[in-house]
A = this chain, B = another copy of it.
Amino acid sequence: MSSLSIKSPPAPAELPLSAKARRTVEQPISYLISEVMKNPRLINLAAGLVDAATLPVAECDAITRRIFADPARGRAALQYDTTLGLSSLRRALVEHLSKLEGLSPADMGLSADDLLVTTGSQQALYLVGDALIDPGDIVIAANPSYFVYTGALSSLGARVMTVPIDRDGMDVEAVGRLLGRIDAAGELGRVKFVYCTSFYQNPTGLTLSAERRPQLAEIVRSYSNRQRILVLEDAAYRELRYEGPAHRSIKSYDADNRFTVLSHTFSKPFAPGLKLGYTAMPADLLEAVLHQKGNHDFGSSNLTQHIALEAITDGSYGEHVHVLQRAYRAKRDVMLAALRRYMPAVPGLHWTHPDGGLYIWLTLPAGADTRRGGAMFNACVEAGVIYVPGDYCMQADETGNVPTNCLRLSFGQVEIGSIDPGIERLAAAVRRETRNSNSDSRVINMAVN
């Protein structure tokens, strides 16, 4: 529940917030952002922002000149378009998707009219939740998961139930077992979808394996006998691939376009400032989502849609993805090398080796405490480095416990030259914390014995 700060002096009559507003908490990342604002010398390994140096300024300059040089085109870009989004952009995006998948649109049951353009992919994720979730409904996600979205799900009143994630991504057999237990408990009707970041997941960097993709599509289908359970596939980081296979989406195994929603964005592979995402979904869901979007804003910025269209069709988008892949691959490699160099050799201390995306997930020995306000977090801020505490990304287990021994690192925004010193500072704090948590464990054991 949000804390209400009243600025003006007179005794206030209460502001009667909606149940949803009362369920909505501030995104925990806000605190970290304000820490960084206060202390600009902090090496920011927390931010999921993209690399500033690689932003496509020259490309967008050329594109906007072209758009405004043609008065008819310029006027079209400055007028309203439809709630669904610019049709020429949606056509270009279906072709783009088709290339990413190596499948024809028909093979995926998709046409341009099955795509919705939104204000970043976050809006699409939100609208899907809005169209499907009543308080008490269930969404299944990996633990950890992208915390901004699990926060939004909680605000909508969803119960987020989790399964583990491993080297091969979300544990889809665990999804099947969980659905079985939910069914046995008579609650299958409350399950609305499985949320899965299938490429270079935020926060772990882990990718769903080729084998698990059709399996997950089949699992939700097999539990959809009375009502449909969907997969909501978040592919925000898909094109930021530095090595390993270029997987097909889960959606590509849903030839009738009935059980999967596939969400992409321009923010990670091109520029966040355009604030555009595009999402393919089943026709009946799209209709419901479109009605919601009609109420929310009746269409995202049309000018930025014209810019995105030009970038896709003139080839600058594709070239820019290659620039980003080179730049982020180099930053990832520096971060992995620094982790090897500085992290102490302690049992239980390990980290992920992502093939793409912006994130590395670091696990400390059980008993370590990476939380905001804890000794290790404070030591890091003191030393001039900041990370995202892992508990921000985790749901509580049945006993209400959240693991506190993990953290998220990002090589997205940080300058390449700051990664090594950032990890060196972090490692010093980790070394102290693992020593302390070892002695803590001893203290606890002593108390028990």
Contacts and interface: CB of A to CB of B under 8 A. Distances in A.
A86 to B, nearest CB: 10
A167 to B, nearest CB: 30
Contact of A295 (B9, B155, B256, B274): B155
Interface in A11-66: 12-21, 24-27, 30, 33, 49-50, 52-53, 55-58, 60-61, 64-65
A49 B60 CA distance: 27
Given A18-B134, A24-B288, A296-B296, 19 more contacts: A2-B288, A6-B284, A8-B282, A13-B227, A18-B132, A20-B292, A33-B82, A50-B80, A57-B68, A65-B65, A79-B273, A81-B273, A119-B296, A122-B296, A122-B298, A126-B296, A151-B295, A271-B303, A274-B303
Interface range on chain A (Cβ under 8 Å from partner): 35 or more
A-B pairs, top 4 by smallest CB distance, nearest first, are A61-B68, A57-B74, A78-B273, A152-B295
Contact of A12 (B27, B258, B292): B258
Contacts of A57: 68, 71, 74-75, 78
Interface of A: 2, 4-10, 12-21, 24-27, 30, 33, 49-50, 52-53, 55-58, 60-61, 64-65, 68-69, 71, 74-75, 77-82, 109, 118-120, 122-123, 126, 130-134, 137, 148, 151-152, 155, 189, 192, 224-228, 256-258, 267, 271-276, 282-285, 287-288, 291-292, 294-304, 306-307
21 contacts: A2-B288, A2-B291, A8-B257, A10-B256, A16-B132, A16-B189, A17-B131, A18-B131, A18-B132, A30-B294, A77-B273, A80-B267, A119-B297, A119-B301, A126-B297, A151-B294, A155-B292, A273-B301, A273-B306, A274-B301, A275-B297
